[in-house]
Structure 1
Amino acid sequence: MLDYNPVSGDVTWNSEVIARLSKSETLIFSALLKKLNQFSSKEELIEEGWPNKFVSPNSLAVAIKNIRKVLQETDGAFKIETVHRRGYILHGAADKIQSSMIALQPPCDSSKNKNEINTENKATESSSDEVDEAIIDMAKINAKIIAQENHASYFKKIFVKTLFSLYCVAILSLGIIYFFSSGELYCYQLSEKTKICGVFELNKSKQKSISDDIQKKSGLYLYGYDNNDQDIKVHSVD
């Protein structure tokens, strides 16, 4: 049975504490558990792990790596799948999860009788007009604050996506420059009109994976890794 404490970050497997996650890792793990066996995008997990903060995309990759190490202690009952360039999926059985999160509710005061309630209602009615006006003013202020926050959040998300795209382009560009300057390339002819090259060797399984990824398109392609993901990246040079 997998148990986690969203306050302390402790993760327990079969009544034994196996790890203590950081605050961001705990928030990301909670988000993955809420969407168990469903897709969670990178943008969504970054927003969950670091709300209203700007972090590099690599921060999410590091957090996922640490959570994966913890889930290795569950004997394969839970594991995280990487969806290429998009996000992650936490696989596992819902009946093997026992959350320690307790929903606290205010106690109900049953000592008041009907006469006391009626007395309070009469006292409240005398000042109801002033209260209504105060509520309306407060609602207007809250509406303005929410509108400003939504506006700032929208531009923040656009900025993060733009920065991430520029980061990926920079990594691929540096890879292309290195590929052509080193002169030591491993090349494979996937088909009559399709060729791939890179600085490390590929086994037949990875060659087939790349071939399926580019869907038999013709031309010359370069392959390699970036520091954000464990998947091989492929880039056309034609």
Structure 2
Amino acid sequence: MLNYNAVSGDVTWNSEVIARLSKSETLIFAALLKKLNQFSSKEELIEEGWPNKFVSPNSLAVAIKNIRKVLQETDSVFNIETVHRRGYILHGEADKIQFNMIAQQPPYDSSKNKNEINTESKTTESCSDEVNEAIVNMAKVNAKSIVQERHGNYFKKIFIKILFSLYCVALLSLSIIYYFSSGELYCYQLNGKIKICGVFELNKSKQQSIAENIQKKYGLYLYGYDNNDQNIKVYSVN
């Protein structure tokens, strides 16, 4: 008999405790048991295990893996089937499952009257509703913050790309102006169809390296140093 305590997470097989599941694993296992021998999608199980939270799909795979290890102790009476890229099915015999959904309660105190008990119950329910509402509000705030952060990073990348493009255009323009004003450029003919020009000389190895890195195997190019990393950069003129 599989005895499952949804409050503590204890899983018992034939009166022997075989594991204690984490909070998320407990919720996922409960969802699988409710749909015994039926298909449960990944989205459903993620929502059950981490309600109103953002988690990676890998979190569900890890939880299922841990639950499978526990079910190995049931002599294969219960097992989880993977439906490729869609979800999971818990196979087993319903008459061999015993749920324990309520935690142990303290002994009943006869000195309390029914009005006191009802008041405490309503207070507990009210607090629970407030906590749940606070959790949902926090999830909404976190989701909004994540979206804003993603948008900020996207515009930051666009801004950096624009600045880099302006830098390249400015560098190319200065090189062309220098060329036409002084005419003092070093030019090399590479592979017959590629011509490169710059304000400093290049040895044979650097010429060969530039020729290998140019994607178009023809045309006129200007070369120069990048101030950031001192690497030679090449820009197409035509």
With structure 2 as the length reference, what TM-score do the two structures score?
Answer: 0.43
Could you say which structure has the larger radius of gyration?
2
